[in-house]
Amino acid sequence: MVRLIAAALCLCPLMCSGADPANFNAAAAFGARPSVSDLSLSPDGMNVAWIAPSEGQGSVVYTLSLAKDAKPKAAFAAGGKPERVVSCGWVSNERLVCTLMFSRRDPVYGIEVLSRVIAVNTDGKNPQMLSKRDDLIYAEYAQLGGGRVIDWLPDEDGAVLMSRSYVPEIRKESRLAAKDEGLGVDRVDTRNLQTHRVEAPMRNAWDYISDGRGHVRIVATGSHSATGDNSGLYEYLYHPSGSQEWQLLSRYDSRDDSGFVPLAVDPTLNVAYGLQKLDGRDALYSISLDGSRREQLVYANPSVDVSRLIHVGRHNRVIGVSYVTEHRHAEYFVPEMQALIESLGRALPQHPALHIVDASVDESRMLVLTGSDTDPGVYYIFDRKSHQLQTFLVVRSQLEGVKLATVQPVSYAATDGTIIPAYLTLPPGKESAKGLPAIVMPHGGPSERDEWGFDWLSQFFANRGYAVLQPQFRGSAGYGEAWLPREGFHAWQLAIGDVLDAGRWLVQEKIAAPEQLAIVGWSYGGYAALQSAVVDPTLYKAVVAIAPVTDLNELKDESRFWTNHALSGEFIGSGPHMHEGSPAEHADRIKAPVLLFHAAMDDNVGIQQSRIMDQRLRAAGGKCTLVTWEELDHQLDDSAARARLLDQSDRFLQAAFAH
């Protein structure tokens, strides 16, 4: 039996501010970045590392010994201008490997996003850059990707297998000039940078998969047109056991999502796990790596796509698969792990979402994360030998003590009779409500989806008294290819029709007051918000669009200097819908006031999209406010910026509804 033995730890003021009801600032609390993220266990299970936010986009990597009376120590920090820490993991009991990302503006290519991998001791000493050097003055082109760790080599101490990018030099006449080009795999000693080549760089390689035991088994390769454009066609090659020869495993066409995409290797069964279509939905298959390429169906759901594999431990062992209907569900292949999860679930019945984040090498000690719609998340340390489950850290300390809203799966009928799934969040304490101010909140993507659980954006508005409906409109991911008849820009009428029907349903059900109905969206959701106001100018009384697409021709042009330009153009399309589906082309039809937010370092949707919309709305006599940030990107990963976004949106909606 699992025994729960302690309350959550408060480790420092930065992470344990909590909520003071008398002085509660909802925008600051909900807009705050998570107090802790990316937690991991050391190989011996006696130390934990995590990332905590600092000012702006900055972060600090902390470590904590699980010995009695230990205090957290800062191992590494990045100020966020521009470097940001995005992940960290243990390469030994005293050393971490972290990935940094940063953006820069190139005068020709626009916004470039770069990554670099570093190693550092837990006391901050002996920092080493594991990515290939990118300061070579003769390099033919910039090295954007810094590679990634593909195997943590748990049976070694301080070494990793990592993919690394090689860039040739232009001084061809010199014998000393670097000639290697492409993505290869090296074994790197993170303490002294001694390197052993494992896989020679391949010009068309873009990823590698290890078996978790130090052997590279699969390489992903892509092809390009004569002009250098990515074709969207991929081949996956594999090493049979004991061989260094590459053999064909599978092919995949990203344009129609056909073929087998390997995700992991099981060295015991000698198979590759991956996704491919079955009856129009993603299913999990295995393909033998013994030369026969024998294919076997592992798991398929009759209603939705399989979405991800479930791994455990430092060997990255595959133990199951998950999928999302109204909630996320898991199917475990390993009976022992199924029993363990069920036992943990009985000890934590208030947390329906539960998974193992990390484990020691021997898997005797585990890091467990739980959460729900009304709980942003709690981390636990589980000792399998003593059966003790110790509460460790909360994900969002700023919301401790704050009553959060429940999220209800609902559905409504679109105009053509199709039943559209959605999530409805009502203000805390209101299980049934009528005549509320309400928001329709379409997700980004378009080929993404919302999921039941905690969402800081919808929870903020619920806290402020709004009902929030998140429609999974046609074009959303996870429901099979029948839910994706064309991509969200080609078939914008279908997606936008479903978004409009979401608002009409709120009014028909008398949940929303007709004069207090707004739409709020981010990225494609911002596009959907603006385009909905074009198609039906009377339904939504206010529009908030965050980093929205507004002009499809401009969107297509944003990738003109990149190898994905042809694929991006095909995704966006050509023809009459380019004009008809661009809200900036129809700014004169929008009657509701509009509030736009956009960051200048956004490499996903350029800030020019919002500037065009703002100019067109003002020229047409519309009401528009544009809020910008110079140093942030698409995610606005800055607590102060997000707090401003929430507070200004709330004030904007209140003012719009007052009229």
| pLDDT digits 0-9 by tens, 67-116 | 888 899 999 999 999 999 999 999 999 999 999 999 888 887 888 888 99
Percent of the chain at pLDDT above 90? 77
Q: How confident is the model at residue 11 (pLDDT cuts 50, 70, 90)?
A: very low
CA dist 56 and 631 (Å) reads 10
- From 131, 136, 223, select the one nearest 184 (Cα to Cα): 131
The H helix count followed by the E strand count for the chain is 10, 37
H-helix segments, 211-250: none
- From 420, 333, 441, 368, select the one nearest 2 (Cα to Cα): 368
- Across the chain, mean pLDDT equals 91
- pLDDT at position 229, please? 80
The yes/no answer on whether domain 407-658 falls in CATH 3.40.50.1820 is: yes
At 620-648, the pLDDT tens digits run 999 999 999 999 999 999 999 999 999 99
In this structure, what token pair is assigned to residue 279?
């009856």
Output DSSP code: residue 427: P
- pLDDT at position 144, please? 82
CA dist 657 and 437 (Å) reads 8
Identify the three-state secondary structure at position 637.
Answer: coil
pTM for this model (two decimals): 0.93
Beta bridge partners of 412: 420
Identify the three-state secondary structure at position 442.
Answer: coil
At 172-219, the pLDDT tens digits run 555 555 778 899 999 999 999 999 999 999 999 999 999 999 999 999
- pLDDT at position 228, please? 74
Query: Residue 14 pLDDT more than 50?
Result: no
H-helix segments, 273-361: 335-347
Mean pLDDT, to the nearest integer, of 136-156?
83
Cβ atoms of 140 and 168 closer than 8 Å = yes
Q: Which residues, other chains included, contact 434 with Cβ-Cβ below 8 Å and sequence gap of 6+?
A: 510, 511
Strands 624-629 and 594-599: parallel
In this structure, what token pair is assigned to residue 626?
């544009």
Residues 446, 452, 458, 462, CA torsion sign: positive
**What does each C-alpha distance from 493 to 180, 282, 288, 473 come to in angstroms?**
48, 25, 43, 11
Query: Residue 140 pLDDT more than 70?
Result: no
Query: Residue 476 pLDDT more than 60?
Result: yes
Strands 594-599 and 542-546: parallel
Give domain limits for the chain.
Answer: 407-658
Query: Residue 19 pLDDT more than 70?
Result: no
Query: Residue 575 pLDDT more than 60?
Result: yes
In which region does residue 465 sit, left (phi positive, over 0), alpha (psi from -120 to 50) or beta (all else)? left
Mean pLDDT, to the nearest integer, of 596-603?
96
Q: How confident is the model at residue 425 (pLDDT cuts 50, 70, 90)?
A: very high
Among all chains, which residue has been given the structure tokens 């997000």? Answer: 642
